[in-house]
């Protein structure tokens, strides 16, 4: 069985020979900056995929959201998970085509939490995977709280609706086999870990205070600041440690990393990649505490993307240096 639901036991991951991450969608396009060994730029990747000239059509779409293709290699096993699918199917289709990605190799899809910038590309991604694998159902991992109808309360008190994420029925119509369960689990022969609920332990990481959701009888809005549906993923790379993938970090980056450290001890954390949610007036004030506490993990790799914001990225670069911190960009491939 390729999915193991872990209700009480601790997850034991198979140590990978290597992990590859393809950044299918991210906020930023940066195909020119030089990158360290083990990382290839969007430009190299579109040329490898067959681009014959530099043109607007061959470049990837960067847009607000994230989608990572995670591939674990161990011995002769090569297995692949799609972690989130960005804000729309247009970017998925375009970037998959330009990067020459075979969607048929995706054996599982994971949604990190119930927000449109991570979820609205799912039906297209599922459809493309199912078509490319010959019509087999694609396992899609979600949990019930993700399907809340959400909104934000603006400064003037108005409600600004968030697009609902695709329903289970829509995902099934696209070709999904939906696993709707809040528990932590290992995926694909213990090569990948998907967390359960992330404990909130820091004093300064406060979720999304402006968020509300429809109440159970759909008569009013109720506070929904904690986003307890959020999950992160992790892999264990042999000789390096645990690489954590956190798509939006509404739980707080430090809460995510403390939970990962506790979950996998004594294996050390190696790195973290994703959206760290430190942009905007509500979050920029906690950049100093976050960067201070990030030091306790002694990470070798930090890849801030999506909702991290340039101020937090700059603060991390100042604190840890370019050998550790590499800002993420769409179309890059990272090998660990």
Q: How far is the CB of 307 from Fe ion (least distance, A)?
A: 5
Query: If you compute the radius of gyration of the chain from its CA atoms, what whole number of angstroms results?
Result: 19
- The minimum distance between CB 51 and Fe ion, in angstroms, equals 29
Helices 253-264 and 287-294 sit at what angle, rounded to 10 degrees? Answer: 20
- Residue closer to Fe ion by CB (options 26, 117) is 117
Distance from C-alpha of 279 to C-alpha of 286, rounded to nearest angstrom = 10
Q: For residues 159-198, which are near Fe ion according to CB under 5 A?
A: none
- CB 192 to Fe ion: min, Å: 20
**278 interacts with Fe ion by CB under 5 A:** no
Q: Which stretch binds Fe ion (CB under 5 A): 7-15, 49-57, 111-119, 254-262?
A: 111-119
As given in the structure block, the two tokens for residue 4 are 């193991």
Q: How far is the CB of 20 from Fe ion (least distance, A)?
A: 23
Q: What are the beta bridge partners of residue 153?
A: 159
Tally of CA atoms within 13 A in the half-sphere of 114 that contains its CB = 28
CA distances for 193 relative to 64, 228, 234, angstroms = 25, 18, 5
Tracing tokens 């809005």 back to the chain, one arrives at 221
The span of 53-61, 162-170, 216-224, 247-255 binding Fe ion (CB under 5 A) equals 247-255
Please give the residues from 116 up to 145 whose contact with Fe ion meets the rule CB under 5 A: 117
Q: Which is nearer to Fe ion, 146 or 191 (CB)?
A: 146
Q: How far is the CB of 212 from Fe ion (least distance, A)?
A: 17
Residue carrying the six token digits 């949990």: 143
Instruction: Select 107 or 224, whichever has its Cβ closest to Fe ion.
Output: 224
Nearer to Fe ion, 186 or 211 (CB): 211
Q: Which residues contact 268 (CB under 8 A, 6 or more apart)?
A: 241, 242, 298
Residue number of the CB closest to Fe ion reads 248
- How far apart are the C-alpha atoms of 237 and 234, rounded to whole Å? 10
CB of 178 to Fe ion, least distance (A): 21
- Which residue, 115 or 240, is less far from Fe ion as judged by CB? 115
Q: Which of 248, 267, 287, 326 binds Fe ion (CB under 5 A)?
A: 248
Per DSSP bridges, beta strands 106-110 and 269-275 are unpaired
Question: Of 117 and 224, which CB lies nearer to Fe ion in the complex structure?
Answer: 117
Q: How far is the CB of 61 from Fe ion (least distance, A)?
A: 16
Region from 6-14, 112-120, 135-143, 313-321 binding Fe ion, contact rule CB under 5 A: 112-120
Using the contact rule CB under 5 A, the part of the chain among 104-112, 151-159, 160-168, 245-253 near Fe ion is: 245-253
Q: Please state the φ and ψ torsions of residue 216, each to the nearest 5 degrees.
A: -60, -35
Site for Fe ion (CB under 5 A): how many residues?
A: 3
Closest to Fe ion by CB, 212 vs 267, is 212
Q: Are 271 and 336 in contact (CB under 8 A)?
A: yes
Which residue, 13 or 66, is less far from Fe ion as judged by CB? 66
Burial of 53 (C-beta count, 10 Å sphere; 0-12/13-18/19+): exposed
As a whole number of angstroms, the distance between CA 70 and CA 20 comes to 6
- Please state the separation of Cα 45 from the chain's center in Å: 20
Binding-residue pattern over the window 287 to 316 for Fe ion, x denoting contact by CB under 5 A: --------------------x---------
C-beta of 166: minimal distance to Fe ion in Å? 16
Mapping DSSP to helix (H, G, I), strand (E, B) and coil, where does residue 327 land?
coil
Of 334, 303, 280, nearest in space to 22 by CA: 334
* Min dist. Cβ of residue 174 to Fe ion (A): 21
In the complex, which residues of this chain contact Fe ion (CB under 5 A)? 117, 248, 307
């Amino acid at each position: 069985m390729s999915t193991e639901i872990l209700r009480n036991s601790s997850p034991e991951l198979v140590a990978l020979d290597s992990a590859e991450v393809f950044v299918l969608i991210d906020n930023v396009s940066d195909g020119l900056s030089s990158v360290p060994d083990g990382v290839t730029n969007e430009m190299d990747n579109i040329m490898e995929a067959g681009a014959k000239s530099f043109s607007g059509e061959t470049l990837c779409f960067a847009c607000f959201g994230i989608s990572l293709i995670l591939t674990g290699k161990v011995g002769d096993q090569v297995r692949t998970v799609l972690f989130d699918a960005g804000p729309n199917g247009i970017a998925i289709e375009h970037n998959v085509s330009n990067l020459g990605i075979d969607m048929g190799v995706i054996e599982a899809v994971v949604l990190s939490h119930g927000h449109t910038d991570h979820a609205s590309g799912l039906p297209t991604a599922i459809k493309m995977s199912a078509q490319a694998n010959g019509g087999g159902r694609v396992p899609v991992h979600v949990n019930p709280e993700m399907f809340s109808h959400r909104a934000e309360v603006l400064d003037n008190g108005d409600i600004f609706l968030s697009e609902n994420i695709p329903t289970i029925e829509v995902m099934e119509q696209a070709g999904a086999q939906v696993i709707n369960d809040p528990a932590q689990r290992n995926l694909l022969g213990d090569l990948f870990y998907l967390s359960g609920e992330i404990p909130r332990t820091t004093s300064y990481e406060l979720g999304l205070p402006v968020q509300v959701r429809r109440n159970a009888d759909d008569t009013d809005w109720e506070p929904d600041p904690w986003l307890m549906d959020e999950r992160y993923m992790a892999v264990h790379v042999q000789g390096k440690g645990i690489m954590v993938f956190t798509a939006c970090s509404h739980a707080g980056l430090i809460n995510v990393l403390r939970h990962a450290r506790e979950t996998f001890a004594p294996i050390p954390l190696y790195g973290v990649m994703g959206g760290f949610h430190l942009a905007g007036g509500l979050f920029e004030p906690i950049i100093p505490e976050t960067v201070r506490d990030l030091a306790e993990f002694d990470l070798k790799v930090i890849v801030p993307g999506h909702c991290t914001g340039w101020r937090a990225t700059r603060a991390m670069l100042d604190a840890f240096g370019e050998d550790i911190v590499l800002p993420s960009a769409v179309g890059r491939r990272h090998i660990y």
